[in-house]
Chains A and B, each alone.
Chain A
Amino acid sequence: MAVEERDPYSGWMTTGHEWNGIKELNTPVPRAVWFFLGLAALFSLGYWILMPAWPLGRDYTRGLLGLDQREIVAKSIAEAAADRPWLGEIANKDFPVILADPRLMADIRQTGRTLFGDNCAACHGQTAQGGPGFPNLTAGSWLWGGDPADIAETIRVGINSANPDSRTSQMMAFGRDEILPRTDVEAVAAYVRSLSNLRPAGTQAQIEAGKALFAANCTTCHGEDAKGNQQVGAPDLTDRYWIYGSDLQTVFATVWGGRQGHMPSWQGRLSPTDIKILALYLTDLRKRGS
């Protein structure tokens, strides 16, 4: 029943079939299709011969080139390491020596920036200036010491982290745990704010009362002069840098509910050299900032 006919436009015959008005021409497959199909098959064949390709039960054809992606990665990692001889110097030299070496410090600035961006910026911000709950690392006094070795140790063990050597710090919940009544918390909060001349200030009576309360409750950690204590990670309360915020509401919340910041430990996640680079990077950032 197939009735072939000639398509007047192309000049080709149809196959003679028709489906609801649709016909098909019997045009031969263009040569180019066969050519490229052959070419692609040949390429594949060549590739299979040269590269790992076909499974053989428990093994596979290794390919004439003997290439293996794991070996290639291992090799390129070794090559990359060879490209960074300065890393060895960082590992072996002491902090002051490195800090005095402009060539090494140029490497620290480049590499530290990306290391910081990939690992630390999520909490401390791209420019390390922190945000609510996360300290500014470029200015203000240090919680745990600003010596490069101290910084490296903070990074290694973390703060209130799961690392057994973790630095631990604890700002108690004076209000919630009923150590101080509400009026006292308000008074001491007013006093703390007065230390850095913040407005609106509390009443004079509050500040007087707060001063006494501070001396009785807070100086063990924050110090007689409220300038903090790096032994327990207590911040300086007299400067203009705040971890959690300086408005009355936030200072009240800090004293009422306490704080326990969490900084992860990087031991095992970053190499000792990377930690050293970050400590140097932060030291340098602060030096250049001031």
Chain B
Amino acid sequence: MIAELTKNERNGALVILAVLTVVGLVMAVAGYADPFGIHGGLVAIAALAGIFAVISGYFAPEPTLARFGEYYDTPSKIGIGLAMAWAVFGLFVGDWVAWLLAYPNATFDAGWSSFGRLRPVHTTGVIFGFGGNALIATSFHVMQRTCRARLPDQLTPLFVLFGYNLFCILAVTGYLMGLTQSKEYAEPEWYVDLWLVVVWVTYLVLYLRLLARRREPHIYVANWYYLAFIVVVAMLHVVNNLAVPISFYEAKSYSLFSGVQDAMTEWWYGHNAVAFFLTSGFLGMMYYYLPKRAGRPIFSYRMSIVSFWGITFFYMWAGSHHLHYTALPQWVQTLGMTFSLMLLIPSWGSAGNALLTLNGAWGRVRDDATLRFMMVAAVFYGLTTFEGSFMAIRSVNSLSHYTDWTIGHVHAGALGWVAMITFGSIYALVPWLWKREGMYSPRAVEVHFWLALGGTLVYVLAMWNSGIIQGLMWRTYNDSGTLAYSFVDSVVAMRPYYIARAIGGLMFLLGAIVGSWNIWMTVRMPAPVPADAGGDQPAIALQAGE
């Protein structure tokens, strides 16, 4: 990895890491009495490890100009490894908290292992750890191919990737120490948020630099989506995390917003995180890997445009549907509900565009588990967006809100759509990146597919049942005109579903473990006879010496 950096880049890396070490040490000393100090130590250790890595490769010969004849894929390769590691970790913690709900004592009586701390470890681990790394890794790959240009330099992508993972680690270790802003999906404290701003802006600039170097006259749809993902996440992250720290060497901060404004800002953020992190970015993935794997042209360019702008415009308004029947003024709820309804059409436009692209390749869908992952993902995307718009209707929401139905809905999206499209894309990408003929074990891909699909169905069906039972129990009256069930009654009724859900989650986790093993074995496979690069080269190559 270091050998691929030019001398200047190695020096640049050393400077960045030295600054980071100093920052970490200052944090550690100033905040020694607070978890802030522990995080400082962690930053310093990570940066020092980086320095050692750079120094150990410092005197390797510089890369030759031949590198311009190839895409720069090292960050994508590392990113895939990190994504799978986070997947296994995040899913494991998720399944643990699932069992906790059925067997609440499984915490070993420790603070760090209480439900309230483990839950954000799970959500951050899977969304930002697994999802984020997969997005970064694939975005680098897709961007270069569809722009026919090599990444502008070698250092920035590595900075984005490792910087982002440092963010994830600070977030997760913070929760275990009890640090949280108590905003769902925005739990990390102020200094972790600031670090992400640095990383994310670098990511955006990197993306724009590459786009400016592109050798294709048109920007491919996948890139619109990746770009929307990067731009909007930056905006959401900055606004929702505006906060005042209680001091510059302590972790705790107070949000700039309070009361219903805080709730609205949080759910504007929260729902758009679903929209632009968990939807837009992964649609970018889908628009590249699905047609590529199926060997079919995109069904309709025009539908891509309608869907893209529909999704981008409508999603922005939808967040208030998380706050129906609350102190939020009713007019805001009306807007949230109606825009959520209109959102269904472009969402189905995207799902339909994906499925219709498979026309002419259904035979391959049958035989190829990788393509089937992507097909099922598109189906779940359609199902989940329908369900989402449905649940945004106020009267439906009065039944579904605060119940497990919401959890079922989220996981239909997270497992069925986001994880499936990612696994499909990774299975397509790994052999391309490592120049192998295929995955080490196609049968293991098949096994993973069925574990993932089975696990998702068990999970989602359990939560639908549990959620609807819960919702109905909470609104059933007896003939005295009072509520028929206490809250505890509904908890007791949910228990069998909690167990079923934990089993579904376990299946999904096992699938990810099989997948990780398979990827590892593929990477370790002996390299095949050097194949013809088959056009997998940047355009720059044609003008050597640039």
Contact = CB atoms under 8 A, between A and B. Distances in A.
Q: Say whether A associates with B.
A: yes
Interface of A: 1, 7, 9-10, 14-15, 17, 19-30, 33, 36-37, 40-41, 43-44, 47-48, 51-55, 60-61, 67-69, 80, 83-84, 86, 106-107, 110-111, 113-118, 121-122, 126
B298 A84 contact: no
Residue among B325, B337, B342, B360 with max Cβ neighbours from chain A (10 Å): B342
Given A26-B302, A61-B331, A117-B486, A43 B297 contact: no
Nearest to A68: B330
A31 B154 CA distance: 47
Interface stretch (B23-31, B32-40, B474-482): B474-482
Given A20-B535, A27-B299, A126-B488, A52 B480 contact: no
A15 B489 CA distance: 60
B338 A44 contact: yes
Given A21-B535, A69-B325, 4 more contacts: A23-B298, A30-B303, A41-B342, A83-B481
Contacts of A61: 331
Interface of B: 145-146, 148, 216-218, 220-221, 288, 291-292, 296-304, 306, 310, 325, 329-331, 333-335, 337-339, 341-342, 344-346, 348-349, 352, 359-360, 478-489, 535-536
Residue among A20, A47, A86 with max Cβ neighbours from chain B (10 Å): A20
A56 to B, nearest CB: 9
Nearest to B220: A19
Interface of B is mostly: helix
A120 B536 CA distance: 68
Contact of A27 (B296, B302, B334): B302
Nearest to B301: A24
B334 A47 contact: yes
A60 B329 contact: yes
Contacts of B292: 20-22
Contacts of B339: 44
Contacts of A69: 325, 330, 333
A17 B291 CA distance: 14
A80 B482 CA distance: 8
Contacts of B478: 110-111
Given A22-B297, A22-B298, A9 B342 contact: no
B480 A84 contact: yes
A48 B338 contact: yes
Contacts of A114: 482-486, 489
A44 B341 contact: yes
Nearest to B486: A117
A55 B329 CA distance: 10
A48 to B, nearest CB: 7
28 contacts: A9-B359, A10-B299, A15-B301, A19-B145, A19-B148, A20-B148, A22-B297, A23-B298, A25-B301, A26-B302, A27-B299, A30-B303, A30-B352, A37-B342, A44-B338, A47-B334, A51-B331, A51-B334, A52-B330, A53-B338, A69-B330, A84-B482, A86-B480, A110-B484, A114-B483, A116-B486, A117-B485, A117-B486
Contacts of B341: 40, 43-44
Given A25-B297, A40-B342, A33 B487 contact: no
A264 to B, nearest CB: 17
Residue among A19, A29, A36, A122 with max Cβ neighbours from chain B (10 Å): A19
B331 A55 contact: yes
A25 B300 CA distance: 5
B486 A51 contact: no
A106 B480 contact: yes
Contacts of A107: 480, 482
